[in-house]
Amino acid sequence: MNKVLLIIQREYITRVRKKSFIIMIFVVPLLILAMGAAIVLIGKNSNKLSSLQIVNVIDNSKLFEGKLHDTTNIKFVKGDQDLNKAKATSKNDENISTLYIPTDYMKKGGVQLFSKKKPALQLSEEVEKQMNDIAINNSMLEHHIDPALVNTIKNTNISINAVEITSTGDKDANIGPNIAVAIACSIFIYISLLIYGGQVMRGVIEEKTSRIIEVVISSVKPFQLMLGKIIGVGLVGLTQFSAWIILSVISSKIAGQAFNSPASPMSGILQTLQTIPFGYILSCFLFYFLSGYLLYSALFAAVGSAVDSETETQQFMFPITLPLLFTYMLAVSVLFRAPDSPLAVWLSIIPFTAPVAMMVRLPFDPPGWQLALSMAMMVIGFLFTTYVAARIYRVGILMYGKKASFKELGKWFFYKE
Amino acid sequence: MLSIRHIVKQYAGHRALSDVSLEVESGQIFGLLGPNGAGKTSLIRIVNQITAPDSGEVYFNGVKLNQSHINRIGYLPEERGLYKKMEIGEQMIYLARLKGMSRDEANKRLKYWFEKLGIEAWWKKKIEELSKGMQQKAQFVATVLHEPDLIILDEPFSGFDPVNAEVIKDEILELNRKGATILFSTHRMESVEELCDAIALIHKSQKILDGRVKHIRNSYRNDTYLVEYTGPQLSFDGSQPFEIIGDTISEDDSHIIRIKLNGSHNSNDVLQYLIPRTRINMLQEVIPSMNEIFIEKVNQIA
């Protein structure tokens, strides 16, 4: 057992020391943070114009005159010059725009807004909105409808509060954030299984092609080496996750303080997000990552042992990753809409598909017995694949120059010591 | 030291070893000879417990081979390699620790070896930065760092340039003098006579010959001698106690003949016959080289 620890130590330390590992730890949360910040900043900035805009209104229809009201950044001025003169002014000063309203303003493209630069979206939107309001008001007056009454009617706003009846009492069941978390979890587990499983495979191939394998297995049993490698790489994955989680908690705290003004639309999302039991989801994530990783990385190790170079892995990789890919595609398209459908239940119990499928179902509270069954199946699943993989691995690592096929792997499985 | 008894190893397509038995005595340098594909590496892998035999047993110092013996064996495989991206010092220590050494002890021993071979400057280097010959040296150090009682070398001189091969040969001899038993396989016979105390010849999965090198060569003596004499070339009438094999090689008035003794005569009879007739410069027994024995044996089987 002592030797397995040594192997784990080597696998872990050589990977954690790599520059790429340290860079990844910081780059990934920074990227996520930067993306979030960019979204918030863009949202905030588009709310206001950078400086005061003066709009020269040339109203040939005479319907809007005096009815356009100024906002914090927009000032409407009645322009009595002719259009060409006003356009000339706008051409010289980027803060002065010219709004031209022809007599038949209803015609599409009739109303024009001239600016030196392309006018800010917010400016044209504001003008459009005000003009629409005025035009509607005018029409209502024409048809003898009381605009004030219409306004009260228009303020009607019904929103549905989805409530789930559970044994512990009624519970808010706003499913929007749940879907987001479900999809995020399944994507994350899918990617991390492939990344770390791939690392195990490359590690095995490296040992085989560099021919150190024979020296090592004259000191330890092949199974010990395989186990040490799988655990070592798995710990690297866990280290990376923990670092990311810690960094994201810190950065989201900072981000929360910076952006979380009550008026911000983000705070609403943040509040609903807080209703999701992250601790529970996180522990399930860790379980499914670990068991799924053990299950798949054993298979990846067997594949690595069977080939002489990474290019030869294709024929094996495809069938092995197919269940993962299949569930992943179902997860982001179908499963989150029907988390309790028979398909979802079955996929979350079969060990090869369970890590992705169960992560999608988790935010929707699957029944306890299904979760327990799924977890038990995962344990049985990885014990099984590890057993099969170890038997192939011990033969494969000493085979050179033999084009391995599935038939060949089958033979290796039945080899005696 | 090492007793290999009736080992059989069958692979899917062919039989690698059929009923092979060997005795390696403590302190010996033992050569495992045979053409490529004879089964040498299979046998070595069994002794290293990398694979297990289908039947037969291996005893190490009288005890059936088990996991505890791993730390007492050092193995240099034919196909060599190290972790390319790992620093060499760290890597050697890792390999020694896998053989059960403590970190401190490995560190100390490694410093000794690096100084001995004049490669202290390599400690922090990665394997991929070293030349092939340097890597081989490092690998040799990794093999013997944990001071094994039995050192198993599979084709140790292949891949070494002549200078490094000589360095490694000297190190092997020194380790042997210090008490290590050495088992090495080779298909190059030249190295056998100067290094080995005993050999076993494996051909087509079977042991066809084994024993001490001296004994084997003695048993292959066939009363053949080379004689060089000076003077007019002799002619023989059949009364001499030997027969001439092949042609006489003459240069000026010195002649070399190859003779085979007749009946129960010995080399003294040859001298007694020749001395009155000519002046003898040399009489030398022709003992077949291991190479000749090897080829003869293999051809017999074929």
Q: Chain A neighbours among B 281-300 (CB < 8 Å)?
A: none
A31 in any annotated domain:
no
Q: Do A130 and A183 share a domain, yes or no?
A: no
Any residues with CB less than 8 A from the CB of A230 and at least 6 apart, and which? Answer: A200, A293, A294, A297, A298, A301
> Could you tell me the two tokens for A344?
């979802």
**Which residues, at least 6 apart from B144, have a Cβ–Cβ distance to it below 8 Å?**
B74, B113, B151, B171, B175, B180
pLDDT for A66-106, tens place per residue? 788 887 778 888 876 677 877 877 788 877 888 888 887 77
Interface of A with B (CB under 8 A): 3, 6-7, 10, 14, 206-207, 209-212, 214-220, 398, 400, 411, 415-417
Lowest mean pLDDT among A113-127, A348-362, B186-200, B226-240: A113-127
> Long-range CB contacts (< 8 A, 24+ apart) of B63-68?
none
Inspect the interface and report whether the beta carbons of B83 and A214 lie closer than 8 Å: no
Q: Cα B188–B191–B196 angle (5° rounding)?
A: 120
For residue A147, the one-letter residue type is P
Quick check: B86 pLDDT over 60? Answer: yes
Query: For the stretch B33-64, what's the b/e string if a residue is b when 16 or more beta carbons lie within 10 angstroms of its beta carbon?
Result: bbeeebbbbbbbbbbbbbbebbebebebeeee
Residue A311: per-residue pLDDT: 84
Residue A44 lies inside a defined structural domain of this protein: no
Q: How many domains does chain A have?
A: 2
Terminal Cα distance for chain A, rounded: 20
B contact test, residue of A215, A223, A391, A397 with most B CBs within 10 A? A215
Which of A50-59, A226-235, A254-263, B196-205 comes out lowest in average pLDDT? A254-263
- B-chain CB neighbours of A410 within 8 Å are none
Instruction: State the average pLDDT for chain B.
Output: 88
Give the single-character DSSP code of A108.
T
The residue of B14, B65, B73, B98 whose CB has the most chain A CBs within 10 angstroms, and thus the best one to mutate to test that interface, is B98
Hey, what amino acid is at A337? R
Type of residue at A300? F
**Cβ separation of B51 and A210 shorter than 8 Å?**
no
Question: For A211, which residue in chain B has the nearest alpha carbon?
Answer: B81
Q: What angle do CA B128, B129, B131 make, to 5 degrees?
A: 90
Question: Are A136 and A181 in a shared domain?
Answer: no
Query: Which residue matches tokens 């598909």?
Result: A353
> What gap in Å lies between CA B90 and CA A17, rounded to an integer?
14
Query: What ipTM is given for this predicted complex?
Result: 0.82
Q: Is residue A13 part of a domain?
A: no
Interhelix angle for B88-98 vs A2-16, to 10°?
A: 160
End residue of a domain, out of A113, A148, A183: A148
DSSP at A146: -
Asked if residue A365 belongs to a domain, the reply is yes
Torsion angle in degrees (nearest 10) through CA of A222, A226, A229, A233: 180
Q: Is B83 on the interface with A (CB under 8 A)?
A: yes
CA angle B212, B218, B223 (to 5 degrees): 170
Output phi, psi for A114, to 5 deg. -100, 130
Q: How do residues B135-149 score in pLDDT, each as one tens digit?
A: 888 889 999 999 999
What mean pLDDT is predicted for residues B217-233? 88
Same domain, A84 and A205: no
**Domain stops at, among A148, A181, A216:** A148
Least confident of A49-63, A125-139, A316-330, B155-169: A49-63
Q: Does residue A130 sit in the same domain as residue A189?
A: no
Q: Which helix (H) or strand (E) holds B2?
A: strand B2-10
Residue A270's pLDDT band (cuts 50, 70, 90): low
CATH number of residue A109's parent domain: 3.40.190.10
User: HSE of A117 in the Cβ direction (CA atoms, 13 Å)?
Assistant: 7
**pTM tops 0.90, yes or no:** no
Question: Each residue of A300-325: pLDDT tens digit?
Answer: 999 999 888 888 888 888 888 899 89
Which tens digits make up the pLDDT trace of A112-134?
888 877 767 777 888 888 888 88
Both A197 and A274 in one domain: the answer is: yes
Domain presence at residue A6 = no
Taking the CA of residue B269 as centre, how many other CA atoms within 13 Å lie in the half-sphere pointing to its CB?
A: 14
Q: Using 50, 70 and 90 to split pLDDT, how confident is the model at A263?
A: very low
pLDDT at B117: 85
Task: Give the C-alpha separation, B191 to B32, whole Å.
Answer: 12
Q: What is the mean pLDDT of residues B38-44?
A: 89
Dihedral of CA B42/B47/B49/B50: which sign? negative
Q: Which residues of A touch B94 (CB under 8 A)?
A: 6, 10
Domain containing A122: what range?
Answer: 50-148
Query: Do B75 and A212 lie within an 8 Å CB cutoff?
Result: no
Q: Do B52 and A400 touch (CB under 8 A)?
A: no
User: Does the residue A168 lie in any domain?
Assistant: no
SS3 A149: helix
Query: Which chain A residue's Cα is nearest to B10?
Result: A416
Q: Is the pLDDT of residue A206 over 80?
A: yes
Q: What is the mean pLDDT of residues A38-62?
A: 72
For the stretch B247-264, pLDDT in tens is 888 888 889 999 888 888
Same domain, A318 and A274: yes
Chain A residues lying within 8 Å of B99, measured CB to CB? 219
Residues A142 and A179 both lie in one domain: no
A306 with A365, same domain: the answer is yes
Residue B13 burial (CB count, 10 A) = 6
- Give the domain-ending residue among A115, A148, A181: A148
> Does residue A373 share a domain with residue A271?
yes
Cα–Cα distance measured from residue A355 to residue A288, given in angstroms and rounded to the nearest whole number: 5
For the segment B52-63, the average pLDDT, to the nearest whole number, is 91
Q: Are residues A381 and A291 in the same domain?
A: yes
pLDDT above 60: residue A108 = yes
How far, in Å, CA of B246 to CA of B233, rounded?
Answer: 15
In degrees and rounded to multiples of 5, residue A362 shows phi and psi of -55, -50
Task: State chain B's maximal CA–CA distance in angstroms.
Answer: 78
- Asked if the model's pLDDT at residue A348 lies above 80, the reply is yes
Encode B33-98 in three state secondary structure.
ECCCCCCHHHHHHHHCCCCCCCEEEEEECCEECCHHHHHHEEEECCCCCCCCCCEHHHHHHHHHHH
Of A51-60, B152-161, B169-178, B230-239, give the range with the top mean pLDDT.
Answer: B169-178
Whether residue A199 is contained in a domain is answered as yes
Closest CA to B132 of B96, B155, B165, B170: B165
Nearest to A57 by CA among A88, A85, A80: A80
Q: Are residues A119 and A193 in the same domain?
A: no
Beta carbons of A306 and A411 less than 8 angstroms apart = no
Give the Cα separation of B129 and A258 in Å (integer). 50
Which residue of B lies nearest to A206 if distances are taken between CA atoms? B83
* A24 part of a folded domain: no
Answer whether B77 sits within 8 Å of A211, measured CB to CB: yes
- pLDDT for residue B46: 92
Rounded CA-CA distance A86/A108 in Å is 22
Token pair in block for residue B4: 């290999």
Q: Examine the domain organization and report whether A398 and A329 are in the same domain.
A: yes
